[in-house]
Structures are given as C-alpha cells and as structure tokens.
Amino acid sequence: MGKPASSAVLPLRFASTSVSPHQSLSGTVGDGLGDGDPLLPNSDPFSSGPPSPDGMPSESGNDRPGSPPLALDDNSPAPDAPVPSPIINVSHLTVRAGKKVIVNDVSLDILDRQVTAIIGPSGCGKTTFIRTLNRMSEVSPGLTVTGSVKYKGQEVYARAVNPVLLRQRIGMVFQRPTVFPMSIYENVAFGLRLNREDEDTVERKVLESLRRAALLSELQDNLDRSALTLSGGQQQRLCIARALAVSPRVLLMDEPTASLDPSATQKVEDLLYELKQEYAVVIVTHNMQQAARVADRTAFLYQGRLIEYDRTKKLFENPREKLTESYVTGRFG
C-alpha cells in the first residue's frame, strides 16, 4: 500500500469499475447471483420454516475550521472497465428503536471484490447499518428493521433464512478484538468445529486463514499459545482470520483499527488490499484519511440518512452535496 506523498495528498488504489457517479446499481442482481451460496430452504438443509409472503421482517421486533478537500492520485479505471457485480442490495432500509429512527430509508448496493467505506459523524447510524446486513441487529433488543437487504439476490430477512448460515456468508469483525480464552489455533478453528469439519480440513483452513490475515509467519511456531497474550493488532487480525475460516463472501468491519496503534493499523489496511481480491469488504471508519486510502467507494451517512454514495475519489474531491463537502473538509463531525 502506498504511503501519503504529503500531508495533503493521499494515494488511493481503485478497483476496476466504470460506474457513473449518478448511475444506480439497483436492479442488476439476479441471473445466478444466488447460485452456489444458498440461504433458503430449497437449497439449504439448515433452514426451516416457511418464508414470509414478501420476504420482509415484521413490524416487531462542534464545528472546526474548514480544511482543503483530500486530494487523491488519479488512479481511476478506464472508461470501458467492467462494472463489478453487486453482492448486497439494500433498498429503503429503516431501523427504529421505539419511536427513534436510527437508519432512515437507506438504499445502496455493495459491490463484490471492492472495499466500501461508511463514514459520518458519531451517532449517524453507521454501525447499526452494517449490523443489519447480516442480521446482527437482531441481537440488540428493541430494534425494528423494515425494508429489504438482499445477499446475491436472496432476501436475508425472509423467515426461512438461517441467520447462523447468513453470518458465515457475511462475517463481521468488531471494533474491539473479541478473542476467546483459548489457543490461537482453536480461536480460528472455532467456527469450523461448530460446522463439524474433519481435522484435516480444520488444519488446512486454520493455516490458510492465518496466512491470509498475515499472521502465520509471525505465529506459526506458537499456535498453541493463548490468544489473550497477543498484541491488540495481532488479536484483531486473529479475529479476521477466524471470520475468514468459515469461507465468507462479505466481511463487515466496524472501526477495526480504532483501538490500534499506527503500526498495527497499517498492517490491517495492507490486509484489506489482499482481502478484496476475493471478498467484498465493508468498513465503518471515523478516519476520513483511512477511507481515502483503502476504499473503492464511500457512503456518507448523516442523522441516519444516506447523503451521498460514490467512488471514493469523486466523493472526496468533487462531492455532489454541500453537506458532504462540509464533512469531508472538516467543517463539522
């Protein structure tokens, strides 16, 4: 990953895409997007119960002086580059806690094999939004979710969808590392053992996941060591390895570097470039320079609403909305 050439210029690598800043990606799913990745009962032996008729959830449930815009190197793709396929489609998503609206009518598409950053001031609904993508919002009592979230064309809030299987397909890494009080090896093997994988498969996937998380070279001679003895940065990468072990297609990351030092942050950011070769990555961050460094596309949320969603370079250098410009130039937030 390139380092900033100066304090004002942040290099950014862009994946191949020719999406127009105003082009909607809605309606482009289908045509086999659900093939080979079942969540529904006709292809998933772990699901049970009839789907709901519509596949929808029920109704239960400091101003600072301005600064110049971030400048990024022009690494935009060629105009005829192929458009990456959406892997998650969000349509009119609203999340309420009682009468309070936390996420308000958000619609956007998450593209496969790209890093998507979610930015916005504290309390704007970023974390709640990404937790709806794999139904982690259901573990928070009192939240009501309406609207549609589709993973590879399949409605994730359909009653027949198994949320455990869904969270294997759409994994999550939290702000603070959540390692288990067991060995490094067994931390990564945890989900595989729940899936009753044989020992040869467990070993292969554990080692491969540690390698992908850039930990194997550091720890391969100490895999029996307690995960609690690792540094904060190593623990966070161990959590990434544990998520990768169960073969997700999407990785959600909620401020994964917020509690890490600069060196550990750099390793996680470097890792994102490797991960997006195989996965879609969605990262919540308060650090706009981090979004500029790692994200292909960026969504700006404010008071629960999606204000702007575009290619990262476009959003930071030439935003359509005045509110976006004010935020990315540091006038508030």
**Does the pLDDT of residue 222 top 60, yes or no?**
yes
Q: What's the pLDDT tens digit per position in 162-182? A: 998 999 999 999 988 889 999
Q: Looking at residue 82, what is its pLDDT? A: 65
**Does the pLDDT of residue 8 top 60, yes or no?**
no
Q: Looking at residue 36, what is its pLDDT? A: 52
More confident residue, 329 or 77: 329
Please state which of the four CATH numbers 3.40.50.300, 3.50.30.30, 3.40.50.1980, 3.40.50.2000 is assigned to the domain occupying 86-328.
3.40.50.300
290, 299 contact by CB (below 8 A): no
Q: What's the pLDDT tens digit per position in 173-216? A: 998 888 999 999 999 999 999 889 999 999 999 999 999 898 99
According to DSSP, the β-strands at 250-254 and 170-173 are parallel
276, 87 contact by CB (below 8 A): no
Q: How confident is the model at residue 140 (pLDDT cuts 50, 70, 90)?
A: confident
DSSP, residue by residue, 280-302? EEEEE-S-HHHHHHH-SEEEEEE
Q: What's the pLDDT tens digit per position in 233-254? A: 999 999 999 999 998 999 999 9
What residues are paired with 183 via a beta bridge? 226
More confident residue, 2 or 290: 290
**Does the pLDDT of residue 17 top 90, yes or no?**
no
**Does the pLDDT of residue 307 top 50, yes or no?**
yes
Calculate mean pLDDT across residues 217-246: 93
Indicate the DSSP class of residue 109: E
Mean confidence (pLDDT) of the chain: 80
Calculate mean pLDDT across residues 146-174: 93
**Does the pLDDT of residue 7 top 60, yes or no?**
no
**Does the pLDDT of residue 74 top 60, yes or no?**
no
Q: Looking at residue 83, what is its pLDDT? A: 67
**Does the pLDDT of residue 11 top 80, yes or no?**
no
Q: What's the pLDDT tens digit per position in 75-93? A: 444 555 566 789 999 999 9
**Does the pLDDT of residue 22 top 80, yes or no?**
no
39, 161 contact by CB (below 8 A): yes
92, 115 contact by CB (below 8 A): no
Q: How confident is the model at residue 37 (pLDDT cuts 50, 70, 90)?
A: low
What is the distance between the alpha carbons of residues 92 and 109, in angstroms, rounded to a whole number? 12
Q: Looking at residue 139, what is its pLDDT? A: 86
Q: Looking at residue 243, what is its pLDDT? A: 92
Which residues make Cβ contacts (< 8 Å) with residue 272, sequence separation at least 6?
115, 281, 283, 294
Q: How confident is the model at residue 42 (pLDDT cuts 50, 70, 90)?
A: very low
What is the distance between the alpha carbons of residues 159 and 67, in angstroms, rounded to a whole number? 48
